Amino acid sequence: MVGCGKMGGALLGNWVRSGANFTIVDPALEVEPPRTTLVRDTGDLASRKFDVIIIGIKPQLIERVMPAYSGMLNDDGYVLSIAAGCSIAKIKSLTEDAPVVRVMPNLPAAVGQGVSALCASDDAKDDHLAHAQELMALTGTAITVDDEDQIDRFTGIAGSGPGYIFEFAHAFVEAAMELGFDEEAARSMVLGTMAGAIEMARTSDESLETLRNSVTSKGGTTAAGLEAFNGDETISNRLKSTVTAAYERALELK
């Protein structure tokens, strides 16, 4: 695993349960994660070869770092990339045209509740994709898509989505504090309400609109709140702009 930052560490915490052996190359990582081998530099790898090389560094470092791993992949190996916005073509150009499975995960993988999208290069074997799917399933839900454009669209929704949720929750907590609750109570109320509502939606066959209406009595408090929240569809339009901006940025990073 080349680089083990926040996202890489979130995934790795689940992956080690598969029983596979992981070697991490990261000069900045201070503590060796459980059930792994940590080295600081490619020179410490000697002549070792690997079944999978996982790219966990930031996209802007790939061109400088990855050429050092040429020749370290076993003949039947593949490259698994979690680098956001870095295309399969670019990765192949830096890894001696190795088969690539590109993955876009999201941060809730840290608690086994991630949602990830996978896309394989044309020369990736079924075994490569199956292995990548198995790894990502350990972190939550894994979705295989047909092309990289779908990966980029996924990035705008699920990849960046936790950030939107955290921002909404932060604003919701602040609103609760404005009504006189302390931060601990506000956080507990907001996160509990969000978790309960999401679990209802996940386990219900009813549409989201139906569930919303079941909470909303005509002329009641929820109706008043919803009218102030999105009566003019400002939130709906802002959310569409949000995911579009993230998608467009994913395209720029390629």
Residue of 123 and 71 predicted with greater confidence: 123
pLDDT at residue 218 above 90? Answer: yes
Of 134, 154, 174, the position where a domain reaches its end is 154
Whether residues 67 and 97 share a domain: the answer is yes
CA–CA separation, 225 and 102 (whole Å) = 42
Structure confidence at residue 126 (pLDDT)? 97
The radius of gyration computed from the CA coordinates of the chain, to the nearest angstrom, equals 21
Q: Are 30 and 40 in contact (CB under 8 A)?
A: no
Domain total in the chain? 2
Structure confidence at residue 59 (pLDDT)? 86
Whether residues 13 and 133 share a domain: the answer is yes
Structure confidence at residue 35 (pLDDT)? 87
Report the pLDDT averaged over residues 218-229: 96
Reported confidence tier of residue 138, pLDDT bands at 50, 70, 90: very high
Return the CATH number at 117. 3.40.50.720
Whether residues 139 and 193 share a domain: the answer is no
Burial readout 84-123 (b: 16 or more C-beta within 10 A, e: otherwise) = bbbbbebbbebbeebbbbbbbbbbbbbeeebbbbbbbbee
pLDDT at residue 254 above 80? Answer: no
Whether residues 21 and 96 share a domain: the answer is yes
Residue 1 lies in a domain: no
- Domain of residue 200, residue span: 161-252
Express as a percent the part of the chain with pLDDT over 70: 100
Report the pLDDT averaged over residues 69-98: 93
pLDDT at residue 80 above 90? Answer: yes
Structure confidence at residue 1 (pLDDT)? 96
Terminal Cα-to-Cα distance of the chain (whole angstroms): 21
Reported confidence tier of residue 180, pLDDT bands at 50, 70, 90: very high
CA–CA separation, 120 and 78 (whole Å) = 10
pLDDT at residue 148 above 90? Answer: yes
Report the pLDDT averaged over residues 86-97: 94
Report the pLDDT averaged over residues 154-160: 93
pLDDT in tens, 14-42: 998 878 889 999 999 988 988 899 999 88
Reported confidence tier of residue 185, pLDDT bands at 50, 70, 90: very high
Residue 238 lies in a domain: yes
Whether residues 139 and 165 share a domain: the answer is no
pLDDT in tens, 161-175: 999 999 999 999 999
What is the SS3 string spanning 142-156?
Answer: EEECCCHHHHHHHHH
Of 104, 135, 154, the position where a domain reaches its end is 154
Closest by CA position to 53, among listed 72, 27, 79, 71: 79
Residue of 178 and 18 predicted with greater confidence: 178
Q: Are 84 and 155 in contact (CB under 8 A)?
A: yes
Whether residues 83 and 207 share a domain: the answer is no
Report residue 25 CA to chain centroid gap: 21
Return the CATH number at 188. 1.10.3730.10
Closest by CA position to 69, among listed 164, 2, 146, 128: 2
Report the pLDDT averaged over residues 88-103: 95
Task: Tell me the pLDDT of the chain averaged across its residues.
Answer: 94
Residue 179 lies in a domain: yes
Of 154, 180, 203, the position where a domain reaches its end is 154
Whether residues 34 and 55 share a domain: the answer is yes
